């Protein structure tokens, strides 16, 4: 088995392709373990599909499956283009629906699934939150102090709403975002669907325009926008290494 390690703006993934579709939750836990495995936020398995360029199985580091991952979608597209699984323009099937992507060198743009507002103006801990599904559910709160992220509060909200938890800060025409991700059960350096959810809420409330830069905890630059269909999400993707494994 050939495994590739990818990083997409601080989110890291183990990726491989195969013809066999099966439950790989235990494999995900083993490969993603930071001390005893490769170490990653998630595992992406690329599989053939009759209609689309491919489909994926996506696992969080705890072995749970996720319907969608924004940064993962860009890493998967880069992997597919560079392994002759798809051309530089592709569409692939996720648990959240079909994703379109374009690869231009190490810059990858993906069109995320259309956002769905689950609930507005949730009042928790004297803060106002939106609950938005951008492929997976996200709680979003805009704060005046992005440097303070109450992880215990985020953990409680994640359990109560079964959602990722984001705080965001408007910085000029752009925004900064920090995310607590379910499945990882901690803050990650970047979360694509989380950034998309924050951008969507800010755009809906006229806090930002239709094309902005977003900075996650990794401080790398992502580019988000809206088109006639959905939210677009663009940024750099890096192949970290490739390894051959006799057994896992």
Alpha-carbon gap, residue 201 to 221, rounded angstroms: 19
Catalytic status, residue 32:
no
Q: Are 118 and 137 in contact (CB under 8 A)?
A: yes
Catalytic status, residue 191:
yes
- Ramachandran region, residue 111 (left: φ > 0; alpha: ψ -120 to 50; beta: rest): beta
Strands (E), the chain: 2-8, 11-17, 42-47, 54-60, 89-94, 97-104, 107-111, 116-124, 127-133, 137-142, 164-171, 174-181, 186-188, 211-215, 222-226, 231-236, 238-244
Alpha-carbon gap, residue 30 to 78, rounded angstroms: 24
Q: Are 76 and 46 in contact (CB under 8 A)?
A: yes
Catalytic site residue from 32, 191, 198, 245 = 191
CA 128 to chain CA mean position, Å: 23
Q: Which residues are catalytic?
A: 69, 191
């Amino acid at each position: 088995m050939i495994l590739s390690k990818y990083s997409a703006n601080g989110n890291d993934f183990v990726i491989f392709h195969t013809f066999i579709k099966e439950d790989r939750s235990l494999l995900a836990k083993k490969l993603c373990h930071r001390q005893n495995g490769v170490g990653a936020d998630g595992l992406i398995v690329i599989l053939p599909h009759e209609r689309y360029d491919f489909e994926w199985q996506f696992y969080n580091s705890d072995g749970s499956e996720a319907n969608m991952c924004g940064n993962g979608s860009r890493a998967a597209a880069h992997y597919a283009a560079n392994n002759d699984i798809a051309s530089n323009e592709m569409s692939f099937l996720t648990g959240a629906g079909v994703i379109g992507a374009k690869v231009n060198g190490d810059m990858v743009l993906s069109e995320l699934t259309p956002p769905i507002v689950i609930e507005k103006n949730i009042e928790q801990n004297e803060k106002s939150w939106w609950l938005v599904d951008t492929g997976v559910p996200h709680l979003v709160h805009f704060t005046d102090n992005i440097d303070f992220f109450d992880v215990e509060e985020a953990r409680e909200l994640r359990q109560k709403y079964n959602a990722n938890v984001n705080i965001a800060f408007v910085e000029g025409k752009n925004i900064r975002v920090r995310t607590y991700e379910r499945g990882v059960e901690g803050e990650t350096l970047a979360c694509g669907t989380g950034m998309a959810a924050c951008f969507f809420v800010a755009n809906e409330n006229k806090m930002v325009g239709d094309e902005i830069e977003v900075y996650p905890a990794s401080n790398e630059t992502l580019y988000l926008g809206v088109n006639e269909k959905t939210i677009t999400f663009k940024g750099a993707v890096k192949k970290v290494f490739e390894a051959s494994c006799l057994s896992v």
